[in-house]
């Protein structure tokens, strides 16, 4: 593995869309007792279900801590690769590399990671184990890695259409906890240089109470170039209404890197999902402080799906809109099987199926 200090765009590399072919997928076996109730017991089952589906059409590599290797190996299918790697938590989307390709070869980008806001408004301290994973994963896969550790970014805060357009949220990328010394223009330029893109679409907000400062991957996703799904509620009394409406207004006002207008498909939200007293009781405190409060609203959204080679894995919440979300996505992904996974036990950790996965593009893995 070479550690590169050049610019991906200058080297002819770009970030492909998630719906392009994958070599595989990276995930992390959950363990953190203040993120996942009951020692991650239920979370591991939910992760295993996700892994089981993805591994039908992709090579899944699961990172397990030394102490968790045997449990992971026992729980997961034979065709899944379990490797030993320390982590602070289990959000592969945000700590694994963002892969770029030139069509022949892939490389990984090793962004700086500071637990979604560092000492400003991050979610835990320390985060050094997480921050070291991207480089180690490139080493493991034997692909070169771009050293972008000086730029704080999580994979969940960006989407690519693979044709020059990146989508992100202002609330996250302009947050004080990430790159406070960079202007919006500088951040945009860095995204374009690193991701080999031509245009950044800046949604204003994400999902209400999303503790990542509202990652784009929880509210909106490309389903094909020029086409997105947007999490939506018609309930004007819900604080989410204004947030989603601002995104819709923006998306209807812009064109993408190829000059196309964006087709927006509204993806209904489930009714507000709140954490129960029992669930909170199963979570360890963090330095003596509870990490969740009974009744707290969780950032539930169907937009947090993962597009694998053969499936679209969609979170389900036991809500009347569960099926509707699957129907909408089935129409938009006609070549894939759209499957629901009951994901409450992932959501309690603070994210969902997209957040716990990171695709490895197909091109040219040695």
Stretch that binds its own copies, among 27-35, 83-91, 115-123, 266-274 (CB under 8 A): 83-91
Q: How far is CA 174 from the centre of its chain?
A: 18
C-beta of 25: minimal distance to its own copies in Å?
A: 14
85 makes contact with its own copies (CB under 8 A): yes
Q: Which two tokens stand for residue 277?
A: 């007293």
198 makes contact with its own copies (CB under 8 A): no
CB neighbour list of residue 160: distance below 8 Å, 6 or more residues apart:
14, 15, 16, 17, 18, 166, 167, 195, 197, 222
Query: In what helix (H) or strand (E) does residue 12 lie, and over which residues does it extend?
Result: none
Residues 61-80 vs its own copies: string with x where CB under 8 A?
-----x--xx--x----x--
CB closer to its own copies out of 145 and 359:
145
Among 22, 31, 44, 136, binds its own copies (CB under 8 A): 136
320 makes contact with its own copies (CB under 8 A): no
2 makes contact with its own copies (CB under 8 A): yes
Catalytic residue list contains 63: no
CB closer to its own copies out of 85 and 329:
85
Instruction: Name the region of 295 (left: φ>0; alpha: ψ -120 to 50; beta: rest).
Output: left
Q: What are phi and psi of 137, to 5 degrees?
A: -70, -35
- Edge-first strand listing for the sheet containing 106-112: 3-4, 145-152, 106-112, 98-101
Under rule CB under 8 A, which residues in 237-276 are in contact with its own copies?
Answer: none
362 makes contact with its own copies (CB under 8 A): no
CB closer to its own copies out of 109 and 137:
137
What single string gives the DSSP state of each residue in 207-230?
A: STT-TTT--GGGTEEEEETTEEEE
Among 12, 84, 183, 318, binds its own copies (CB under 8 A): 84
129 makes contact with its own copies (CB under 8 A): yes
What single string gives the DSSP state of each residue in 322-345?
A: HHHHHHHHHHH-TTSEEEEEE-HH
Binding site for its own copies (CB under 8 A): 1-3, 59, 66, 69-70, 73, 78, 81-86, 129, 132, 135-136, 139-140, 142
């Amino acid at each position: 593995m070479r550690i590169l200090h050049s610019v991906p765009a200058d080297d002819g590399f770009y970030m492909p869309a998630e719906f392009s072919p994958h070599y595989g997928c990276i995930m992390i076996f959950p363990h953190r007792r203040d993120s996942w109730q009951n020692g991650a017991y239920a979370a591991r089952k939910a992760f295993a279900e996700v892994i089981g589906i993805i591994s039908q059409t992709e090579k899944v590599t699961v990172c397990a801590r030394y102490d968790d290797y045997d449990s992971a190996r026992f729980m997961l299918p034979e065709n899944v690769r379990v490797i030993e790697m320390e982590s602070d938590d289990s959000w592969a989307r945000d700590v694994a590399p963002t892969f770029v390709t030139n069509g022949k070869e892939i490389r990984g980008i090793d962004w700086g990671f500071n637990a979604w806001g560092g000492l400003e408004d991050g979610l835990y301290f320390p985060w050094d184990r997480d921050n070291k994973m991207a480089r180690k994963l490139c080493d493991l896969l034997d692909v070169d890695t771009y050293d972008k550790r000086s730029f704080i970014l999580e994979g969940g805060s960006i989407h690519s259409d693979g044709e020059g357009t990146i989508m992100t949220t202002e609330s996250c990328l302009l947050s004080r906890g990430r790159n406070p010394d960079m202007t919006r223009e500088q951040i945009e330029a860095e995204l374009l240089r690193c991701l080999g893109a031509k245009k950044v679409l800046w949604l204003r907000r994400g999902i209400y109470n999303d503790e990542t400062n509202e990652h784009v991957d929880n509210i909106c996703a490309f389903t094909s170039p020029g086409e997105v799904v947007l999490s939506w509620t018609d309930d004007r009394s819900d604080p989410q209404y204004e947030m989603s409406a601002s995104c819709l207004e923006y998306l209807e006002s812009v064109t993408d890197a190829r000059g196309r207008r964006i087709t927006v498909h509204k993806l209904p939200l489930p009714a507000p999902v709140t954490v129960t007293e029992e669930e909170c009781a199963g979570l360890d405190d963090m330095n003596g402080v509870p990490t969740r409060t009974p009744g707290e609203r969780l950032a539930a959204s169907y937009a947090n799906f993962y597009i694998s080679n053969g499936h679209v894995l969609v979170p389900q919440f036991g809500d009347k809109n569960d099926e509707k979300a699957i129907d909408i996505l089935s129409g938009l992904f006609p070549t894939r099987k759209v499957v629901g996974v009951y994901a409450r036990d992932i959501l309690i950790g603070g994210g969902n199926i997209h957040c716990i996965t990171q695709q490895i593009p197909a091109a040219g893995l040695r």
